[in-house]
Structure 1
Amino acid sequence: MSDAVRTEIELVEGAFLPSGEPVLTPFAELSRLMLLGIDLNQDNHIVWTAQNFPNGPWSGTLSAVNDTAYLVLGTGLTMDGRVAMAAVTDASPATVHYIDEAPQAAGGAQRWNAPVDLGLPEGLEGFVQIAMQRDADGRIEIFGVDGATGSVWWKYQNPDKIVDTTEEVIPPGSREPITVHVKVSAPPDTPWSDWIQLPGSGLARLTVANDINSRLTIVATGDNPDATEVYVNAQTQDRVLDTSGWTGWTRIDNSDSGTAGSVPTAVLDPEGFLNIFMVGIDSQIVQTRQTDPGKTSWSGWHQVSRINAAVVNVVSAFDNSGNIVLMALDENLGLHANYQTDVQRQTWSGWQNVGTAPDFGLVAMDYNADGALSYFQGETKTNGVKFISQMAPGSTHWSAGWTTLADNGIFTYGIVRDLTPPEQE
C-alpha cells in the first residue's frame, strides 16, 4: 500500500505530466525510495538503504540507524517529508522508540535524530505490529497491536496549542504604536499523547490508510486463522484526540467476499474513493470501495477477475495517472499485475503474469520520483529483499531480473519515499 496523500509536491525538473492533469497529481515528485528494516546480521539494529538520488540506483549498503536492538518496526513520514519510524525494542522491559531524520550532514550524509522513548501501555510487554501514518493535520499517529488480547493501542503527536500574546503595532495613518492581543500557535506542552486503547479486541494485523480528506482508516483482520474476519475503523473528523472521533470496529467481510486470506491493502483511486483489496473467496482477489469519497460506508464486494491459481497475497498502489495497480502472488510464486483502466466504469486490464517471485514473504509497492512503480518482495527462507520495477511510468512491462537489496537478515522492513533526498552533484 502506498502511504501517499494527494498533496502539493515538488516536481522533478523536466518531469512529464499527462495533458490536462493538475499539478496536484501524486507523482513526478522530488523523492527517493528508501528501505528501513531490522537486520539479524547487525544485532537486530534498524538499517536503511536508499536510492542515491531520485530515480537513481540504490546505494547497496545497509547502514545502521543507531545501536539499539529492535523486534517490531513501523515506518512513515513526518509533516515536512522526513523519514520516520516507530519500533519496539528487543529488551526487557521493552519500550517503543520514535526516530526521525535529522538534517543532512555536510556532503549530504544521512543522519538520524536520537530515539524518543514513547513507552508502552501499562501492563503490556510489547506489540506484535506497529503502524504509523500522518493524519489530516500532518501529525504522526502510531498504532500498536497487543498480541495477547488483539487490542489496538493508539498514540499521536499532540497538536500545537494556541496562546495569547501581545504585540505593538502602528496603525495606518498613525505614528504612535498601540498594543494588541493576538492568538498564535506554539508547540504543545507534551509532544505526544498517552497510549489510548481503541475499544475492541480479537484483532491480529492492520493496515492504516488516508482517505481523500487525509482522515485515517484502519483495516484490520481478526485473530481467527480459520475464518479471518475483516474490520474497518475510521476517523469521523479532521482532528481526533479521543476515541469518540472513531466509528468503532465495523465488520465488512461477508459471504460474497469470504473471510480474509491475506492482510488487506488499501489505496485511493483518482476519484478520491478509498479501495480495499484482499485475497478472499476461492483464494481470489476481491474489492470493496467507499460509497462516496470520505464516507465511512462501503460498497458490496466485487471480484477483480481471476487468476488461474490460488492467490496468497496482494498489494496495491497508484500509478503515474493516479489509477490503481495491483500485484498478486499465487501459490506457485507466479507474480501477476492488474491495471485499472477506467475508474468510473471499474474496468481493469485483467491479470498479466509478469514474472516469478523469488520466495514468499513481506511485500510492498510504491512509486519512484518519475511515477514508475517498484514492487518489493521479502524472502521468508533467507530474510532477503528483492525488487522489480516498471520499465517506464504507466508501462505494463516490468524488469525481467530482480535487484537484490539484501541477501539475508532482513526479517521485517518498510518502504518509504524520502521527500528530503540528498542534492545531486
Structure 2
Amino acid sequence: MSVEEAIPGEFEGIVHTAPSYFRIFVAAVSPDGELEYKDQKSENGPFYNYFTRLTQSAYATDRLNASVTQEGYVALLAQDAQSANLIYLHESNTPDAANRFADPEDLGKPDGVTGFTDTALINGLTGRQNIFATSSAAGNALWWKYQNVNRIEQKTITVVPPGTDTPIEITVPVEVPPDRPWSDWLQIPGALCSLAPVQNADGRIIMFGMDSDAVPYMNFQSSDHPFLPEKWEGWQDIRGGLTGFEQLVGCIDGNALVHVFARIGSRIYMKVQEEVSSNTFSEWVLFGSFSAPVHTMTVAVSSNDGLYLAAQVGSGPNSPVYGSYQTGGADRNWSALRIIAHVKSDSTLVLQSNADENLSLFALDSSSGNAFYLNQLSLDHWSAVWNSLGDNPLSAIALTQDITPNPH
C-alpha cells in the first residue's frame, strides 16, 4: 500500500505497556530476494527451525535494516528489487489482525535518485522512525525521511461537571494522527557513502559516516528546529590525523555516553562523548592492535550496561573473533581483547542482546551465505559451539528485539 493508506492507529502516540516478550528477531534477504524472518521460540531460547517469508515481492540483496517502533513493534526497511523504492514494513498493532505484519508501505525514493549506497533505520527525537539513504549517483547526496508527529486539534465535547446534573460543552485539545504519515524526502547538505547513526541520550540523532574518499564525518541533529534539513549542526571532519578509515560503528552505553569505533587496517580506534548529550568527543585513542587486518566489527550494550565489541581479525577459514567489554557502564576501562570464537570464513558480525541481557553473536558467512549464532554465557565466557540459523543461504541479515506479543 502507499504511505497515504497507512493505518492511522500506527500514529496514536506512545503506548505504555509492559513487554510480554523479549525475543531476538532476525530478518534476512535470500540470494533470490526473498524477505524472511524468524524469532526465538522463547526468551533466551533457540530459534524456530524455519524462516517465514514476509511478502511475495523481491528485494535488493545487499542491504536490510531493522528497528522497533515507539510502541515496541518490529520495523524493517528493505529496497524493492524492481523499482529500487524503499519499503517500510512493521508488525501490525491492530488487535486480532489476520497477519502478523501490516501491508508494506512504499516510501518511493527521492527525485532523480536511481539507487543507494547505504540506508539506515533508527528511532529519532519523537520516538518514531527516521530513514536515511545515500544516493549511488556521483556526489552521494544524503537523504532523510521521518514519521510525522501527531497533530493537536481543538474538539468540543459534552461533560457533566461534578455536583451537577447539567451537561455543558467544553473545548479541549485532542491528539490526532498527522495528515500525512511520513515527511517528504529531504536532502541534508553533505555527502556520504556509508552511514552509522546513533541516537543521543536526549533523543537527537548523531550521524556518523564516511564519504567516497573514506574521510569520516559527524553531524548532530539540532536541538532547535531538529526536523529541518538545514538545521543540523554541521559536518565535523573527525579524522584527527588518522587515515585509511574502513568502517565506523557507534553505540550509546548504559551511562548514556556515545562511543564510536573506527577500523583502520590492523587497528581499532575509539572516540567517546565528553559528557551526556554533549556535541564534543574525545580524540581518537588506540583500542586494539592486531597482527592481521581487522575484517569487520560490531558493538552492543552488554549485561553490565557497558559496551561489548567483537571483531573478526584476518581473513579466510578459521579466522579468530576477538571480544572486549567495558568493565562498567560508567567506566572507561575495558577488558583485555581475547579470542572468543573462530568463524568458518569471512563474515558479517552482529551482536544482539537476549532477554537475560547476555549477548548473542551472529555471523553471516559471505562465501556460503550460511548464518550462525553463538551465545554468551557470562561477560567472560561464550559457548564453544556455533548454532546454525538454517540451511538456506542468505545475502543480508538485520536484527532487532521483539518485545510485543503476537499469535502468528
* Normalised TM-score (structure 1): 0.85
Preserved CA contact (<8 Å) 1:54 1:421: no
After TM superposition, list the pairs within 5 Å mapping 1:268-347 onto structure 2.
268-280=252-264, 283-332=266-315, 333-342=319-328, 344-347=330-333
Single out whichever of 355-364 and 173-182 deviates more from structure 2. 173-182
In the alignment, the residues of structure 1 paired with residue 16 and residue 222 of structure 2 have an alpha-carbon distance, to the nearest angstrom, of: 24
Kept in 2, the 8 Å contact 1:376–1:386? The answer is: yes
Percent identity reads: 27
1:60-139 alignment runs, 5 A limit:
60-71=49-60, 72-91=63-82, 93-102=83-92, 111-139=100-128
SS of match in other structure, 1:220: strand
Q: Between Structure 1 and Structure 2, how many residues are aligned? A: 388
Contact kept? 1:87, 1:98, Cα under 8 Å: yes
- Tell whether 2:170 aligns with 1:180: yes
Q: Any idea what the Cα deviations from partners look like across 1:191-219, whole Å, max 9, x if unmatched?
A: 11110111112x21111211111221111
Q: Cα deviations across residues 167-201 of structure 1 (Å, max 9, x unaligned)? A: 22233443322222111110011111110111112
How far apart in 1 are the matches of 2:103 and 2:164?
51
Equivalence for 2:151:
161
Describe the SS at the equivalent of 2:26.
Answer: strand
Alignment root-mean-square deviation, CA? 2.4
Q: Report if the CA contact (8 A) 2:29-2:395 is conserved.
A: yes
> Closer, same or farther in 2 for the Cα pair 1:331/1:123, shift >3 Å?
same
Residue 261, structure 1, aligned to residue 250, structure 2: no
CA distance in 1 between counterparts of 2:314 and 2:99 reads 39
Q: Are 2:19 and 2:403, in contact at CA under 8 Å, matched by a contact in 1?
A: no
Q: Structure 1: how far apart are the matches of 2:204 and 2:388? A: 35
8 Å CA contact 2:189, 2:230 repeated in 1: no
CA distance in 1: counterparts of 2:125 and 2:251, whole angstroms = 16
Gaps of 5+ in 2: 1-14
Q: 2:4 matched to which residue of 1? A: none
Q: Show the counterpart of 1:412.
A: 396
Deviation at 1:411, TM superposition (A): 1.1
Is the Cα contact below 8 Å between 2:222 and 2:231 reproduced in 1?
A: yes
Q: CA deviation at 1:378?
A: 1.3
Partner of 1:27: none
CA 1:158–1:340: 2 relative to 1, 3 Å: same
Aligned residue identity for 1:319: S
Q: Paired residue for 2:232, among 214, 237, 246?
A: 246
Unmatched runs of 5 consecutive residues or more in structure 1: 1-6, 13-29
CA deviation string 1:312-342 (max 9, x = no partner): 2221111112111110110142110101114
Q: In the TM superposition, what is the alpha-carbon distance from 1:32 to its structure 2 partner?
A: 0.6
Shift of 1:292: 1.1
1:31 maps onto 2:17 in alignment: no
- Cα distance in structure 2, aligned partners of 1:10 and 1:258: 47
Q: C-alpha separation between the residues in 2 aligned to 1:48 and 1:278?
A: 30
